A and B are shown apart, each in its own frame.
Chain A
């Protein structure tokens, strides 16, 4: 359980040194995307269209923030992670097309350790800790696809020492959530 302070975009050596259970504090830029944004990104990909934002090296945050508009500027009120598993099916296709280096969310994802291997890590932020997350978000840069509604839009956020993030799935094929789940399944079958 080593602690790392890293900047976006994560480099190949950043990815190589991270192992499941490590703690990361992230500084730089993150883009929020959840169900509807993932679906639209894949629609763009299928049509061969350019996205209005850049996903090269990007850190995607599974988050539907609570924002407030003051003097025509958006400010973060609360912005914790949403359940990442809902994005499990769409994520491999997204990673095939774009060089995303970090996924941030909560609760883990199903069957993505393979697609993440060698290129991306999954970082878990403590679910429900939206006030804590907001403390480490310095600025709302801009918003894309606001027609999807506040939770589903793509918000570009400047973060500083954003964390603690636990490496849930590393870039070496290890999945901490899957390990815990397997153990729990074994205990369950002994209990019943």
Chain B
């Protein structure tokens, strides 16, 4: 029989995935950090990576957030076409975000963009940021991907001319160069190519959810260029400026070539839950 998906189950699941995302990292990110630490040639860089690995260990043991910047709360929701919902799923996700802010706890980060008044709950007009997608099946999958401002502030988007695809590499490198130590390197670089102005940005963010250690030839070659810059962990110099580069594409207008570069700090926090389906 099909497992029920209720308002309460969504609220609790959102709290759980936020707790998981905030207090630990996906194994592929930890593996990449360990590998970087083993291979670093700079002693300052090794010291930084050592501190990062110790921090991950402490946060996991104490069940406290890895970083005080617990981010703005972003959710990707995939809804199976066969799922029937008789309640307001958005209200449930927002309530989950509010409960998680109090009980984990999370730092209240959501403010009015102009008055800068802090809502105190990580919820408010347009926040959390929730994106829905319909997929095959009878399940709902919710992914929480909280995003800190240090790395988000260093991201960039450019509308290229259609004949300028050969300048994408330069744009990515320039974005990383300008960011320097500010986005908490080693970073993960999400690149969205095509779509539209906003779709390219969304693709670049989705690219950050990819397996850190799986890259194609193009992604590896950009990663190599980035690491040759020598910015290193925290901008203090070293071999590891980035852990990974991931690209996502979409068709775009024949007259345009949007490219978005979303920078992610080493704390690439995300966790998912799958609900419903035949049990």
Contacts and interface: CB of A to CB of B under 8 A. Distances in A.
A177 B235 contact: yes
B234 A126 contact: yes
A133 B44 CA distance: 18
Interface stretch (A7-15, A52-60, A80-88): A80-88
Contacts of B83: none
Contacts of A127: 150, 181, 184, 234, 265
A183 interface: yes
Given A66-B106, A187-B230, A188-B177, A131 B66 contact: yes
13 contacts: A80-B69, A107-B181, A107-B184, A127-B234, A128-B66, A128-B266, A128-B267, A149-B118, A164-B47, A164-B51, A180-B180, A180-B237, A188-B174
Interface in A14-70: 21, 23, 36, 63-66, 68
B128 interface: no
Interface in A143-168: 149-151, 164, 166, 168
Chain B interface main SS type: loop
Contact of B173 (A79, A177, A181, A191): A191
A131 B64 contact: yes
A95 interface: no
Given A66-B107, A124-B234, A78 B150 contact: no
A108 B235 contact: yes
A52 to B, nearest CB: 21
Contact of B52 (A64, A108, A128, A176): A128
B43 interface: yes
A185 interface: yes
Contacts of B68: 63-66, 77-80, 130, 133, 151
A132 B183 CA distance: 19
A131 B62 contact: yes
B69 A64 contact: yes
A149 to B, nearest CB: 4
B190 interface: no
A34 to B, nearest CB: 11
A69 to B, nearest CB: 10
Interface of B: 43-44, 47-48, 51-52, 54-55, 58-59, 62, 64-70, 105-109, 111, 116, 118, 120, 148-150, 153, 169-170, 173-174, 177, 180-184, 225, 228-237, 265-267
Contacts of B58: 131-132, 135
3 nearest A-B residue pairs (beta carbon): A127-B184, A149-B118, A131-B59
Contacts of B148: 128
Given A124-B234, A131-B64, A151-B107, A21 B184 contact: no
Nearest to B117: A149
A108 B107 CA distance: 24
Contacts of A151: 68, 107-109, 118
A119 interface: no
B52 A126 contact: yes
Nearest to A168: B236
Interface in A67-123: 68, 77-80, 82-83, 85, 106-108
B64 A78 contact: yes
Contacts of A36: 116
A150 B234 contact: no
A64 to B, nearest CB: 7
B67 A184 contact: no
A66 B62 CA distance: 15
A128 B235 contact: no
Contacts of A83: 149-150, 153, 182
A164 B51 CA distance: 8
B234 A106 contact: yes
A65 B70 CA distance: 10
Contacts of A79: 68
A64 B181 contact: no
Contact of A23 (B47, B67, B169, B177): B47
